[in-house]
Amino acid sequence: MDNVLTLISNPADGALGSADVDKARIALEKLGAETSPADWLSKDEAADIEFDLVAPESSEAAVRQALNNKPIDVIAQTTLRRKKKLIIADMDSTIVSGETLDDLAEFAGLKDKIAEITARAMNGEMDFFEALKARVAMLEGLSEDFMEETMKDVQLNPGAKELIGTMRVHGAHTGLISGGFSYFTDRVREQVRFHMSLGNKLEIIDGKLTGKVIPPVVTKDTKHDMLIDMASQRELGMTDTMAIGDGANDVPMLKAAGMGIAYHGHSVARKNANARLDHGDLTGALFIQGYRRDEFVF
């Protein structure tokens, strides 16, 4: 069949059951679709239902309604080139659980003030570049030692290593690109084993932050252009690409990618992505590609 609907749950929120899969199939068939029996990618966690005769776009809303807002992610797509050969991932609140700039600001006693600006930027209420300048300026005079202290508390989101490890083993190229700082992207790249990383560079003089970012600045356009360039370098069509992120700064790359995923995203990212992972962890991006849990690699 030409299309596939994937149901993904977070086991911590309650297992995905056969009854949920049956409801999804019935909803598809009410739309006029022909469906296949469920293919379980992971017991009680993720399942595929292949279907024809109905567009993927119209099927998601119908299935979500049938599931009565149960905490299950619903993703419909074509089966064509489902497994991707390139992934670009955002870092803060995507690969790692927090916002590293906000965490760094805690050492200056400014976390709440800076986090408010971060939230506005991620919601698309404030230009990212202006927000970055304003937040970094507040850190003027902060010792660079606090960057190391901040890194000690950085936590990977569940499934980060499995997502990148599995895609690498299957031949995909992987990139970590962030409007955050290279000090953190370099270290997270090593932990998760991305092929490459790119972040902004903080100006440091005499061991203290100057409150400035060294140009060029990584922006939403940088992320978009990097996705295009990396695909072109590997002679890949955009259908073969995946991007994953959570905020307004990720929207251009999410829209450009063959599969753009909003991961526990702000509303602006969720509205502009091909798929939403609101409940599952990062391994959901593997289930979206049709990988089975027994294929995952750390």
Let me know: does 268 contact 19? Beta carbons within 8 Å: no
Q: 211 — alpha (psi -120 to 50), left (phi > 0) or beta? A: left
Residue in 20, 48, 73, 92 annotated catalytic:
92
- Alpha-carbon distance of 141 to 156, in angstroms, equals 28
For the chain, the first-to-last Cα distance in angstroms comes to 31
The answer to whether 92 is a known catalytic residue is yes
The answer to whether 281 is a known catalytic residue is no
Let me know: does 176 contact 189? Beta carbons within 8 Å: yes
- Alpha-carbon distance of 66 to 70, in angstroms, equals 9
Q: Is residue 246 packed enough to be buried (19+ CB in 10 Å), middle (13-18) or exposed (0-12)?
A: buried
Residue in 48, 90, 240, 281 annotated catalytic:
90
Let me know: does 127 contact 248? Beta carbons within 8 Å: no
Q: Which residues are catalytic?
A: 90, 92
